[in-house]
Amino acid sequence: MAEHKAKTSGKRPGQATVLRVVLACVLILVWVAVAGVGGPTFGKLSGVQTNDQASFLPATAEATEALEWQDRFRDSEAIPAVVLVTSPAGFDQAAATALAEDLAVFEYLDGQVTGPFLAQDELAVQLLVPISDEVKADEGVEALRALLQQVLPEGAAGYVTGPAGFSADLIEAFGGIDGILLSVALAAVLLILLLVYRSALLPFTVLLTSVMALCAAIVVVYYMADAGWIRLDGQSQGILSILVIGAATDYSLLLVARHKEALAEGQGRWQAVATAWRGSFEPILASGGTVTVGLLCLLFSDLNSNKALGPIAASGIIFSIIAALSFLPAVLGLLGRAAYWPYAPKPETQAAHATVRDGLWGRIANFVAGHSRMVWILTTLVLVAGALGMTQLKATGVPQSELVTAPSEARDGQIALGEHFPGGSGSPAVAVVHEEAAADLLPQVEALPGVDSAYLQAADGGPAMAERGAEPQVVQGRSLISITLADAADSEGAKGTVSELRELVHAQDPGGLVGGTTATQIDTAATAIADLFKIIPLILLAILVILMLLLRSILAPVLLVATTVLSYGTAMGVSALVFNHLFEFPGADPAVPLFGFVFLVALGVDYNIFLMTRVREEALRHGTIQGVTRGLKVTGGVITSAGVVLAATFAALAIIPIMFLVQLGFIVAFGVLLDTLIVRSLLVPALVHEVGRTVWWPSKLARAGR
């Protein structure tokens, strides 16, 4: 056949082979060049990251507008650090003043040390140290913590907390994303591939395909972030790495399965590559398309963090598709059967090839075929029961002190601060009001039950008081009220107080704004909930359209999406119970349900695409009933391997001590395994058996009688 094609194209077989080898080598060299650029760029991503929560709010959010006004009241961009020193021996004013003088020599000090503020029990001293924005937050805080340890009185304990302290601990927690996370994910994938294929070369070939895709995506993401088109944070970077490794490996496994089948048929190395490429092109493109479109739906989010993840992750999926359809076939073409050494597939006789072997997946497929109604009813009931746990999901936000699951000095300091000072110390709420309303509002604000103290801010940042000779600062006709809350800034009590503050301020001054740490959390949660109800329908509609075009059917896509949504509900329900009762998490980020939906539905549909495209192919030759049985037998192993790989990569997120990533990793890993082992293996085939050829309605295949 190869010789015939070469003759008809005017080229001798030898010439055609040389051209294929040259093309394969060129493709590999192009990808190596991309990796040469992307590898070094990976270490630069931290330089274009933004991890400030407020910067991800929409411009129309009240907390965002208040933050913009706060910046107008500041003379510098310094990051405030709260220094707390406690001692069982107590402090007098002289000892507290000495601490302030010792910290005044801090090398990154921007302005003056504010304080000392002595606690009523005289067992703690609080100072505010502004850290210059010319140094990175983590470096500045590390230097301040080192200085604090040098000047601590004997027997005293010192903490650096507040906005600067939490930022530094967050940056440290994200520090493992560059190397540790990627290494763990790659090692997990390599181990699985070695166990599945028992080959010396193939696992490294597949893994190299994933790395090439990641390098290309990193280059694009870096320049998008550097140009200011997107806001890149540590979470998005971690998700990008995991998603590309998992998705590129999945697409590669599908092509490898087709390639191995072709070799087993006795095809030559280049013919086998061509056959594998043609057989996997459509499902890979459709699978990647559903994920890409689902991710790009995040562009409709009002949260900049969600909006940025869309193009970041979508670029990773696009390059995963390209790498799986270009780099991998080129390498497989050069290696031929040697890629599977020492267990290279041996050519089968035509009769042997025509018979789909049973094995484990053959037995499962036959069982589903013989008990389809019982299987889909029981699996549906089990999935629905698990989905009921969604009512226990507490996705209303996580206190800032709980974002980092690893030991955190900022968290310990915040707890100690609340034992000696009002809970909101160091993270004040602010009210930006018109100058003429400020004097009347101040006593009303102070009278609120959840407010410990409040003052009109002077130009030096302190209180405007006659005894200090300081007048209220006025900027463009506005004044700023600094408000210390009685409860910790990230507590439910503080959120309730800020809501009351907003009602009071808006009633007295319709143009007034209330912002600060607590207000930012309130607005973030409200925006995330609104996004959930806006983006989920868009994702479902987009995926349905893609599936209808792929399967030339309306009913089959509806069934596939319905089963995937049910699987998502079960994964979220079980995860909620695990988070609440096993891990004892205080809650979940408001974005967790949306991110879980995007990944589980888009990726879950992938496996149904892999299955149903093969079922349709078999149905065209053998009819729908035999087609679904044969399709499950043939694809069972490769799809399960792909699901285990993807679950393992997302589970690797657990090594990053960020609660959001730990929760997302568990949800996606559990959900992918659930979808792979239950939904795609049992529920979908059983439903297709139950519905029969009508599943392809309204295409001609629904009317084909075999």
Q: What pLDDT, in 10s, does the model give residues 34-43? A: 999 988 887 7
The pLDDT of residue 429 is above 50: yes
Span(s) in the chain for CATH 3.30.70.1320: 73-173
Question: How many Cα neighbours within 13 Å face the side chain of 299?
Answer: 12
The pLDDT of residue 412 is above 80: yes
Task: Give SS3 for 646.
Answer: helix
Question: Which span out of 178-182, 325-329, 398-402, 687-691 was modeled with the highest average pLDDT?
Answer: 325-329
Left (φ > 0), alpha (ψ -120 to 50) or beta: where does 474 sit? Answer: beta
Residue 402 or residue 686, greater confidence: 686
The pLDDT of residue 351 is above 70: no
pLDDT computed for residue 185 by the predictor: 85
Tell me the mean pLDDT in the region 3-15. Answer: 52
In the chain, how long is the greatest CA-to-CA distance? Answer: 100
Could you name the CATH architecture of 421-520? 2-Layer Sandwich (3.30)
Task: Identify the bridge partners of residue 82 per DSSP, sorted by sequence position.
Answer: 128, 161
**Which position has the token pair 């910290």?**
103
Q: Does residue 633 contact residue 358 with C-beta atoms inside 8 Å?
A: yes
Tell me the mean pLDDT in the region 270-283. Answer: 91
Distance CA 556, CA 538 (A): 19
The pLDDT of residue 101 is above 80: yes
What single-letter DSSP state applies at residue 259? H
Tell me the mean pLDDT in the region 649-676. Answer: 89
pLDDT computed for residue 639 by the predictor: 87
C-beta atoms surrounding 384 within 10 Å: 13
The pLDDT of residue 177 is above 70: no
Q: Enter the tokens of residue 642.
A: 């792909």
Mean pLDDT for all residues in the chain = 86
Left (φ > 0), alpha (ψ -120 to 50) or beta: where does 380 sit? Answer: alpha
Confidence band of 352 (pLDDT split at 50, 70, 90): very low
Residue 523's closest CA among 533, 508, 513, 511? 513
The pLDDT of residue 8 is above 50: no
pLDDT computed for residue 682 by the predictor: 92
Q: Does residue 514 contact residue 67 with C-beta atoms inside 8 Å?
A: no
Confidence band of 136 (pLDDT split at 50, 70, 90): confident
Confidence band of 251 (pLDDT split at 50, 70, 90): very high
| Least confident piece of the model among 110-124, 373-387, 566-580 | 110-124
The pLDDT of residue 114 is above 90: no
C-beta atoms surrounding 52 within 10 Å: 17
Tens-digit pLDDT profile for residues 582-624: 988 888 888 889 989 988 888 888 888 888 888 888 888 888 8
Residue 522 CA from chain centroid, whole number: 21
Confidence band of 278 (pLDDT split at 50, 70, 90): very high
Tell me the mean pLDDT in the region 162-179. Answer: 77
Q: Does residue 515 contact residue 430 with C-beta atoms inside 8 Å?
A: yes
Tens-digit pLDDT profile for residues 624-641: 888 888 888 888 888 888
Distance CA 43, CA 215 (A): 11
pLDDT computed for residue 164 by the predictor: 86
73-173 CATH fold: Alpha-Beta Plaits (3.30.70)
Q: Three-state secondary structure along 431-499?
A: EEEEHHHHHHHHHHHHCCCCEEEEEEEECCCCECCHHHCCCECCECCEEEEEEEECCCCCCHHHHHHHH
Peptide bond into 342 cis (omega under 30): yes
Confidence band of 451 (pLDDT split at 50, 70, 90): very high
94-102's contacts with Cβ under 8 Å and 24+ in sequence apart are 95/125, 95/153, 96/125, 99/125, 99/127, 99/151, 99/153, 100/127, 102/147, 102/151
* φ, ψ of residue 126 in degrees (nearest 5): -115, 135
Distance CA 310, CA 296 (A): 5
- How many residues are there in the chain? 706
pLDDT computed for residue 552 by the predictor: 86
Tell me the mean pLDDT in the region 363-379. Answer: 90
Q: Three-state secondary structure along 482-530?
A: EEEECCCCCCHHHHHHHHHHHHHHHHHCCCCEEEEHHHHHHHHHHHHHH
Tell me the mean pLDDT in the region 299-309. Answer: 83
pLDDT computed for residue 55 by the predictor: 57
Tens-digit pLDDT profile for residues 189-227: 888 888 888 888 999 999 999 999 999 999 999 998 888
Which are the contacts of 8, defined by CB distance < 8 A and separation ≥ 6? none
Angle at 694 between CA 692 and CA 695, to 5 degrees: 80
The pLDDT of residue 505 is above 80: yes
C-beta atoms surrounding 318 within 10 Å: 21
pLDDT computed for residue 52 by the predictor: 58
- Strand order from edge to edge, sheet including 114-118: 114-118, 124-131, 79-86, 157-161
Tell me the mean pLDDT in the region 438-461. Answer: 89
Q: Does residue 193 contact residue 202 with C-beta atoms inside 8 Å?
A: yes
Confidence band of 496 (pLDDT split at 50, 70, 90): very high
Confidence band of 418 (pLDDT split at 50, 70, 90): confident
Tell me the mean pLDDT in the region 686-703. Answer: 84
pLDDT computed for residue 249 by the predictor: 92
Tens-digit pLDDT profile for residues 535-591: 999 999 988 988 888 888 899 889 988 998 999 999 999 999 999 999 888 888 888
pLDDT computed for residue 326 by the predictor: 95
pLDDT computed for residue 39 by the predictor: 81
Confidence band of 357 (pLDDT split at 50, 70, 90): low
